[in-house]
Amino acid sequence: MRPPLIEAVPNFSEGRDTARITRIVRRVEETPGIEVLDLHSDPDHHRSVLTLWGPPGPVVEAMMELARACVEEIDLNQHQGVHPRIGALDVVPLIPVRGITRRELVQPALELARRLAEELSLPVYLYADLAQSEGRRELAAIRRGGFEGLREKMRDPAWQPDFGPPTPHPTSGATCVGVRGYLVAYNLYLATSDLAVAREIAARIRSRDGGPPGVKALGFALPTAGAVQVSMNLTEPERTTPLMVRRLVEELAEQFGTRVTHGELVGMVPAEVVEAMLRQSFADNFLAEKILDWRRWQEK
């Protein structure tokens, strides 16, 4: 029987110093039993998104190693980036891949949360499937105010952490831990430096403001890239695919007298989403198993 397999997509607050990023990621890679799938670092976000997978036990160990490395390497008091964050290890989403349900993943995820608090004195907020109240389901609510506002925010009894000390870690802030399903993290770059345009487009495509289902979006200025960006999490990516959202953003960009220069995938994309996109754009009868190299020759 194959062991259960989960994915972790931790986000940590270093996106510029490649030597530091390499040291941090190496600690994860050296954890037995896991495999790193992707690393996406952005200097303007000043943030890295790591994607890895393995059985729950090794993934929890790898996340503990990552947290230790982040506490050692990162000082949020010295950190400025365009992406909202409250922690050196800002957020650890855990996602079932195979042989385990979201419900069954709650237990190992809570174990990780407890250990982050006990072993590293980090305040931990539980979000998504782990949220203990409706107001903590969305990462955006927990992160509002950022690291800079966290000390003040935590004075409010409503914002006591689910695990750990009642005040921020002095250099590492707090960490969010959640269990969720797949999402696609997707950025579109615009041929303008006008942040207001990116923000307005982000507002118009957001589900909660009347956009299509499963779209979370923010507009960012990217001084290093010399552009602005609509940065999205697509939480129902088979229903509202990245291609659908891109077409919408392209239309809105045109209305604002600009255009989309390119798209960027952060991390991995599920095969079902690739299938849905290629059915929409290429061939209605497309299936992932029609990719020749996808099929493996079975020796007989």
Residue numbers annotated as active site: 83
Q: How many Cα atoms occupy the beta-carbon half-sphere of 201 within 13 Å? A: 32
Q: Is 244 in the site for a copy of itself (CB under 8 A)?
A: no
Helix 271-281 / helix 242-255 crossing angle, nearest 10 deg: 50
With CB under 8 A as the contact rule, the residue among 16, 17, 29, 37 that binds a copy of itself is: 37
Task: Name the minimum Å distance from CB 161 to a copy of itself.
Answer: 31
**Helix, strand, or coil here: 186?**
strand
Asked whether 53 and 98 are in contact (CB, 8 A), the reply is: no
Q: Rounded to the nearest whole angstrom, what is the least distance from the CB of residue 246 to a copy of itself in the complex?
A: 7
Contacts (CB under 8 A) with a copy of itself, residues 250-289: 262-265, 267-272, 274, 277-278, 281-286, 288
Rounded CA-CA distance 196/200 in Å is: 6
Spatial distance between the Cα atoms of 189 and 218, rounded to a whole number of angstroms? 12
Contact letters for a copy of itself, residues 186-225 (x by CB under 8 A): x---------------------------------------
Which of residues 153 and 216 has its CB atom nearest to a copy of itself in the complex?
216
Q: Are 182 and 270 in contact (CB under 8 A)?
A: yes
Q: Can you tell me the distance from the alpha carbon of 215 to that of 210, in angstroms, rounded to the nearest whole number? A: 10
Residue 77 touching a copy of itself (CB under 8 A):
no
Q: What is the DSSP letter of 3?
A: P
The nearest distance, CB 87 to a copy of itself, in angstroms, is: 25
Which amino acid appears at position 155 of this protein? R
State the residues that interact with a copy of itself by CB under 8 A. 2, 5, 7, 32-33, 35, 37-38, 53-54, 97-98, 182, 186, 242-243, 246, 262-265, 267-272, 274, 277-278, 281-286, 288, 290-295, 297-300
